Structure formats: structure tokens, C-alpha cells
Structure 1
């Protein structure tokens, strides 16, 4: 295991903003992208953190991601809207979609926003947290580039498209935050293993010949494996229906991935915000969330289990630790990011 180097989250955020601004991204959009990436690193979702920056900048230089694009929103009904990302970053487009959905939900109880012509928006949980901060429940869907076979198939067709949702906690409980891929593991974890020179666990992926592999490079040439067999495959198709087919964005294998310089991503997202007090009072909702949390974490433990966690709790605990001690990166990752800084003539990443 490579030695890690700790970086303060403030320094990571400032570094990403400087790279993006030097690449033509507006200050406000650069701040949103940096927030989403740094939140992923803080929560231990390193596959979706600031190490994504070199691939994003490569897409800007290749002309397949518009650094200067500004997302726009069109109201369809009082509770439905669509955001057009105009081939800009997915982060500000998704953030605009969620803020629009929460505004609608605060008045009408629910807000539904579709996003078209977007790009990778990082870790879905950061958009869920935006809703939680506004006191809302939420659903966050997206589609993504082909990586997963449909059940019974052998070629890449569906994306490893995350399913995320959340709800505010009670007085004595953490919020509920679910963010999961329909595959055994997120594809970003394969890229992370490749960057770090690590093997991947058996059962994550097959190589191009359909054989199980522990080599991340070979896994990226092959396919990811769906969780639960046909169940994971069906969930990936569901993400395509709601995020791609419905929005007018790419679908059925048409999305271009964040590491692919061949063309625009044309990713679609589907975002819903819901007031938690539509059927019970907010006070009762919070009391019921406290009961749910307590019953989950205090459940009888299986043999060998020391602690039971609520969905999202491990990531929240990791964030508390990394806010205090810094975010760990390996030297190769820091070198790759500093190479981008040198190209753009901005200060290198400060390390602890």
C-alpha cells in the first residue's frame, strides 16, 4: 500500500478552483465543481474526488466539454422544470436542478427537474446533501457511459449509473443518505486502483475475454459486473429510462464517459425534491426518523459484527475525521494534479 500524504480540504478546494478558472470556468461554477469533488474526498469516496480533475481538463482541451457553458432552466409546470447544461460541467447543472426542485417543493410539496446535455456530476451524495440542507427528501438519478452488460449479454451497454436518495434526520439521528451503483463496485474505483497501482477484488469485473480479472487496466477493457445479477442490470436500465430517455439526452449506450475525448458526454440527470411533512408534521417526521435510526443501529448484531451503521453514516464519520486530519492522497495522484497546475501556470497543491 502506497504511503499517503494529507491535504487540508480548504487547500484542495482552492487548488481545484484555480485550475478550473485558469481553464475558462467561471468563478461560481468552479466553486461548485470544487465543492462536489472535495466533498467526495472528505466522505472517503476517493474515486469521485479531485483526482477527476485531469480527465475533466483533458476534455476541455479536446473541445468536448464547454468550460464557459452556463446551465439554463425552463419551467414546464409549477412543479416540473428542465435544466439544459449546454455541454458544461454536470456539477453546476445538477446543483441548479436541485435548488429549483427544492424551491418548487417548498411551495407545492414536490419539485421534479430533468437535466439534459450534461456531463459527469461526481458523487451523487453531494447533491442529495444539498436537499437535506434545505430540509428536503430527494431522489437523484443519472445515466453514464457504457460499462455494464445487460443480464445475459456480454458487451458494454448500460452505465454504472448511481441511484441516490436522502432524507433529513431527527433530533438525535443522522440524515439518511443512500448513494450506490447498480454494479458490484463503482467504475471510478477501477480508475482509482489503476492510478494507485493496486489490484481490484475478484468479482468486480471481467476482462475483454469475459474472464474474471484483478487487473484494473484489463477490467476497463472489459465489463463491470452487476450486483445481484438481473437486479443490478434492471436498475441500470431504470437509470437510463429516467435520466436519458425522458430528458432528451443520450441513452442506450450513447453517453460518452469522462475519460473519453471522442465527443460531448450528453449525460442526463433526474432530480426530485420532496417536503418531508406532506403527510405527518415535521416534528413527527423527525421523531419517526429518530426511531428508525435507533432501531437500525441498535439491531441485534450478526456474529463478528462490532457496529451497525445507518446508510451514509460511515461516510459522515470519515468526513469528520478528514476535516480534522486532512484528505489522504498518494504521491502519484498529487504529481498528476500538479502536472496540470504546471500546464496552467497556477500554484501547485499545498500538502500538510
Structure 2
């Protein structure tokens, strides 16, 4: 196979979603839930985050088969009074539970000025920016974090005690303009992105991985041989990761990633803030647009063509990939098509 073919050919988002949904339905997922999960995966691809895209289909099906995911389970909301609520994910798919949490937090914020929702008994929720974008488009500020299976060493150590524990934060813009969204793992690299590098035979970024003896390495295989990821920014990422464990893991009832009884879920916390309670929403959005203008107009440093706002790379990727298609690497495509055929479905 040529290098060009191995890098992948492009497929339209709706085509990938149809196949993804069919695969999920074939392992017992109701149609409406399968549509949400498949749509979330493809949206991650469109946003340029292939680590959270259709590459996950094989591991998602494996999670159904090993009992981690109950494909027919549906999340339910429990009010905790005032501006607080809890979502029980019932160990079903994480994305539908996270969308219910997002809708609930948004409604609480409209009623109370703020809304705080946790999600427990919850499997992988995908890209956090997806939910924060929804809040931002509703004219609200959103903050979201979750913990995840232990893969990251604490600052100063080298054993796995923390999850990659992503944090996302977003703010609204004027109607018709993309929201400002920050979404990053508190590890030096998200495990999903390391997985792609490993599959492609690429090196890990220097300083992102330590082997099982604690020695820095660029060999991706060292992580899967008992090594660990490091926190980004040293003690700063470490501090954010610890707070994600406490605010999301503990408040959701999921527990800490380092707990021997940790259940491999995404304990999640989501905060929504109604901008209009503090100042006219139009004033906030006008100032956000003005900030973007000043940042875009600033002179660029050597090696940079432009200054991009947080979330701008994702919107640029979405526009380009919606028009030209989503590139799917050869190895990923083969794995998905093999899975589809195993389930009696036509490959893409």
C-alpha cells in the first residue's frame, strides 16, 4: 500500500455516521442513542480531533462485549435542589448522558443564573468541547471537566495515578460567530492522540512519556509497556488534574482514578453560567468580538502566520472537512471495515 493510501482517503461525515450508527445498533444500541454516539464521533473528526473520532468504534464495541458499556441503558436526571442536579449514566453510552447533563445545566442556569450538574456511572463521553460549544451557542459560559482511567504520573513521580483529566471552557460570541472554546487534556498529550501516533509509527513529543522506570522517552510503545504520560506544564497541569479528580471524580460519585476500585468511568462535572445575569448578553458578546479583533490584529511572532482564537482551529477544520471530507487513515479504515463485516454490515 502506498504512503498516500496509508494516510487515508476522505469520506463525507454523513457516510461515516451511517456506518458508525449501524455498527452501534448491531451490538444492541437503540437507534436514537446510536445516532447520538455516532454523531459525536464524527463531529470530533470534523473538528480535527481524530483521536476522539471514528477510530473509537472498535474500542467502543469491545467495551460492550466486555460488559463495561450497557448499550441499551438510558441516563436519568436527579434534582439536588436549587441550581444543582446529578445525572446517572447507568453505565450506558457516555455521550447521551453528557448531552442530558448539558441541557440540564443550561436550564438551571437560565432559571438560577448558574447550573451545576455532575454525571456518575458514566462511560467515555468523547470530546468535552462538543458540550461546551452547545452551552456557548446558548449564550452561556461553560466549564467542564472529567476524570478518566489512570494513565498520568503526578508531577515529580512516574507511576500512573491520574487520568488525562481534560478541561473545557467556553464563552459565547455574537450570533453567527463561532464560540470561544478551550479544550485540553491536563496530560502533555491526550492518550487518544498517543494511540494514533503509536498506530502510525510516529514518536511521542519529547517530555510527554516516561517509561516504567521513570525515564523520559519518545517511544510510544513505552507507555503501553507500563509507562505513563506526564502532566502538561509540570506542576500547573498537575494541579489542574488533581482538581479535576476532586471536582468531577468525587462530586459525581465516580471516585478517584487512583482508587483500586475505580470503575473506568468518566466522572464528570459541568458548570453553566448565564451571562445575562451579570451584564447584558449583547454587551458581553460585543466585547468578546472586540477582543478577537485585537488579538487577530496583533503582530505575529517568527514562525506564525496568524494568531488564532481558542476554538478557531476546530471551526476551520470543520469547514474544510465538511466540504472536502474527513481523512481516515488506512489502518483505522481497515479496522472499522473488518468490524462491520464481522457484524454482517457492508463496509464503507
After superposition, the CA RMSD in angstroms is 1.7
Aligned: 1:105 with 2:109: yes
Aligned: 1:227 with 2:261: no
Q: CA deviation at 1:255?
A: 8.5
What residue is the counterpart of 2:193 in the other structure?
189
Residue from 207, 213, 219 that aligns with 2:217: 213
Q: 1:143 to 1:177 in 2, by over 3 A?
A: same
What residue is the counterpart of 1:240 in the other structure?
245
Partner Cα separation in structure 1 for residue 8 and residue 60 of structure 2 = 23
**Which SS does the other structure have where 2:192 is aligned?**
helix
What residue is the counterpart of 2:97 in the other structure?
93
Q: What TM-score results when the alignment is normalised by the length of structure 2?
A: 0.94
Partner Cα separation in structure 2 for residue 253 and residue 89 of structure 1 = 23
Q: Runs of 4+ in structure 1 displaced over 4 angstroms?
A: none
Aligned: 1:68 with 2:72: yes
What residue is the counterpart of 1:179 in the other structure?
183
For residues 210-233 of structure 1, the C-alpha deviation after alignment (integer angstroms, 9 at most, x for no partner) is 222222221233111111111111
For residues 124-150 of structure 1, the C-alpha deviation after alignment (integer angstroms, 9 at most, x for no partner) is 111111212322221111001111111
Matches within 5 A, 1:144-155: 144-155=148-159
Q: Which consecutive residues of structure 1, in runs of 5 or more, have no partner in the other structure?
A: 257-262
What residue is the counterpart of 2:313 in the other structure?
314
**Which SS does the other structure have where 1:158 is aligned?**
coil
For residues 199-252 of structure 1, the C-alpha deviation after alignment (integer angstroms, 9 at most, x for no partner) is 222222112122222222212331111111111111111100011111111214
Higher relative contact order, structure no. (Cα contacts within 8 Å, ≥ 6 residues apart): 1
Q: 1:217 to 1:41 in 2, by over 3 A?
A: same
Q: 1:254 to 1:59 in 2, by over 3 A?
A: farther
Q: CA deviation at 1:315?
A: 1.2
Partner Cα separation in structure 2 for residue 323 and residue 141 of structure 1 = 28
Q: 1:235 to 1:176 in 2, by over 3 A?
A: same
For residues 21-50 of structure 1, the C-alpha deviation after alignment (integer angstroms, 9 at most, x for no partner) is 111111111111112111110011111111
